[in-house]
A and B are shown apart, each in its own frame.
Chain A
């Protein structure tokens, strides 16, 4: 019991066990691999045992999507050129395209209070602590622990996580905090007069240097203005499919800021 107490204090207060933790985590990662097997079998069945018609349907859908995206990307090229020109005119730094690494989710923290997931990419693939994680729809979280073959990601909805955001419409800055409920973020300390509406898209602001600029984070869902309160109560729903995505992207910034906490 004493050892347990000492461990608790050492980890909670001094963060002094990070190395032994990463080491033990590497040893224990097979447990996650094994626990992932049922899901893997399900995915395999999805891929291999399917009717011809459903495949054709999917093919059709993908073709349509491709056409759509191609059309958009034509526009994108000219817009990008425009953007670069304007930025040059304004003397601001060029936007750098971020590199990404595709990773697969192999585990979820069994504790419903702790919103963490385990990925199948680790130190060997160049993952680092503080690295942002996105899925097709938006920002998911950041890497908090890296070991040889896997890494652990803290989701943006965890109650110990907050992230600097701005409203896409008008650039108002705010902080989005997780409240420990999957699928809800709270925007705190927004003055009652701030121009913020339901349906506003919140994107990363890049302040703090941890997350790159411009990834969608959440959509404002509830704005409650109480004249008696100095701040508005705002709830937002994360854009990323935090509880559904299996394939995710790890983003490599142009110059990663070393983790400092």
Chain B
């Protein structure tokens, strides 16, 4: 831990920060509903790759950060990401041996659950979406999963994050 610890944390943290920036990047109007859930994608990857490092607490703090950035009720994304990370922790052994597109399928389901929880909390607040479009990020995220996987895996191997 002492020898590679600091570097390892640095890479994970940096990837999460990049995900946060991507998550608030202004998008054109027609792309708004399709914004992939970058943070959830990065979280799922790191949970599968390093379940001993990244877990529920990371998910909670990231979620709260996202809530603040989004101006959402505090805990909305927190709750959703915690659920996603718990499911990923339960599934990581199976996910590792899945083929790429099988993984993408699971990611689709996980992000879908994430979106449903967010939607549920927003409805509590009285600000829910009027259309079913809020599930679109599940699709775009699943399609982007191979890209995210390759980039993060490359980073992990290059910096030997363990």
Could you list which residues of chain A lie within 8 angstroms of chain B, going by C-beta atoms?
A: 1, 3-8, 10-12, 17, 21, 24-25, 28, 31-32, 34-36, 38-39, 107-114, 116, 144-145, 152, 158-160, 180-182, 243
Contact = CB atoms under 8 A, between A and B. Distances in A.
Contacts of B82: 1, 4
B126 A159 contact: yes
B20 interface: yes
B69 A31 contact: yes
Contacts of A158: 127
B125 A39 contact: no
Contact of A4 (B21, B72, B75): B75
B78 A7 contact: yes
Contact of A7 (B35, B64, B130): B64
A39 B134 CA distance: 26
B144 interface: no
Contacts, number: 111
Interface stretch (B22-30, B41-49, B95-103): B22-30
- Chain B at the A interface: mostly helix, strand, loop or mixed? helix
B89 to A, nearest CB: 12
A80 B25 CA distance: 45
B128 to A, nearest CB: 7
Contacts of A36: 26
A11 B63 CA distance: 14
Of B65, B69, B76, most buried by chain A (CB within 10 Å of CB) is: B69
B122 interface: yes
Nearest to B25: A35
Nearest to B32: A112
A152 B124 contact: no
Contacts of B122: 113
B138 interface: no
B126 A109 contact: no
Contact of B127 (A3, A113, A144, A181): A113
A11 B74 contact: yes
Contacts of A3: 60, 78
A4 B24 contact: no
A243 B26 CA distance: 11
B70 interface: yes
B5 to A, nearest CB: 24
B26 A12 contact: no
Given A8-B79, A110-B35, A112-B129, A38 B68 contact: no
A36 B23 CA distance: 12
Contact of B74 (A7, A111, A116): A7
A181 B131 CA distance: 11
Contacts of A12: 73, 124-125
Given A10-B74, A31-B24, A243 B17 contact: no
A5 B126 contact: no
